[in-house]
């Protein structure tokens, strides 16, 4: 089964025909919200709002372990994550959509693994390629079929939040090789890998990163909201084709 995790700007899927909702209990506490089951174009899908349906959970407080465990317990095999980012690279302008292929993790203090108990053996996962290439190709092909332009590839820098970054911090991320910056990419991707889930991300550029062209005077949240509103309509179009191709 395919699951979609929605981030800022995508707390609901308007094109999802809802059949049921389910509260899932996990060994790691409560997920962000009940899982929503339904269909898109007649194909089954599970939706989870990362920040809760009221968008009340900040990035650093999301229970990523419970979210991924809940999806895994419901026999989900593939996860497509939707997240908003700030554009660092010059061509990642507000409203653009990217399918990243790498991650740099700058988060701290988050519960980042399922293998931290004395009752479990030391376990290492290969994270050379943090996103599932098959699921990335599914998203890229879906965007092409939907007629929606996307930028293929890019390095996602995962920062702690909830504050946005300083211009100096963005300069550092750029020197490190980051192309875009967000707050929810980790540990979500690593936890998915630990559970054997095929995971890829659709990154929506909500704003220029701090200090970049167009943000010299600062980043206004009302501008971000306007960009996300328009871009998420395109994301929903892509997701329709993702679900159709996955179900086919």
The fold for domain 2-247 equals Rossmann fold (3.40.50)
> 246 falls in which pLDDT band (50, 70, 90)?
very high
Q: What is the mean pLDDT of residues 44-68?
A: 95
- For 8, the token pair is 């800022």
Locus of tokens 């030391």: 122
> 217 falls in which pLDDT band (50, 70, 90)?
low
pLDDT for 216 beyond 70:
no
Domain boundaries defined on the chain: 2-247
No. of H helices and E strands in the chain? Answer: 5, 11
From the annotation, which residues make up the binding site?
Answer: 8, 50-51, 183-184, 207-209
Using alpha carbons, select from 213, 240, 241, 226 the residue that is nearest to residue 95.
226
List Cβ neighbours of 1 (8 Å cut-off, separation of 6 or more).
44, 45, 46, 74, 75, 76, 77, 78
The dihedral over CA atoms of 107, 91, 237, 7, expressed in degrees to the nearest 10, equals: 20
- How high is the pLDDT of residue 9? 65
CB 103 within 8 A of CB 185: yes
CB 187 within 8 A of CB 205: no
From the annotation, which residues make up the binding site for phosphate?
Answer: 8, 50-51, 184
Q: Which residue has the higher pLDDT, 153 or 16?
A: 153
Q: Cα 78 to chain center, whole Å?
A: 13
From the annotation, which residues make up the binding site for substrate?
Answer: 183, 207-209
> 17 falls in which pLDDT band (50, 70, 90)?
confident
């Amino acid at each position: 089964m395919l699951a979609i995790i929605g981030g800022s700007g995508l707390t609901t899927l308007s094109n999802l025909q809802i059949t049921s909702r389910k509260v899932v209990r996990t060994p790691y506490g409560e997920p962000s919200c009940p899982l929503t089951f339904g269909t898109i174009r007649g194909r089954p899908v599970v939706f989870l709002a990362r920040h809760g349906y009221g968008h009340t959970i900040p990035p650093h407080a999301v229970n990523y372990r419970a979210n991924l465990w809940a999806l895994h317990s419901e026999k989900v095999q593939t996860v497509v994550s939707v997240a908003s980012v700030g554009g660092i690279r010059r061509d990642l302008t507000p409203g653009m959509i990217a399918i990243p292929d790498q991650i740099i993790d700058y988060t701290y203090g988050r519960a980042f693994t399922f293998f931290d108990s004395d009752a479990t053996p030391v376990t290492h996962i290969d994270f050379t390629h943090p996103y599932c290439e098959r699921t990335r190709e599914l998203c890229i092909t879906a965007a092409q079929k939907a007629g929606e332009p996307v930028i293929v590839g890019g390095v996602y820098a995962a920062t702690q939040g909830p504050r946005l970054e300083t211009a100096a911090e963005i300069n550092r991320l750029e020197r490190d090789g980051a192309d875009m910056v967000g707050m929810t990419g980790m540990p979500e991707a690593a936890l998915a890998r630990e559970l054997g889930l095929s995971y890829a991300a659709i990154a929506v550029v909500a704003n220029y990163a701090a200090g970049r062209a167009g943000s010299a005077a600062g980043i206004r949240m009302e501008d971000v909201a306007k960009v996300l509103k328009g871009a998420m309509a395109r994301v929903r179009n892509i997701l329709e084709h993702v679900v159709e191709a996955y179900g086919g």
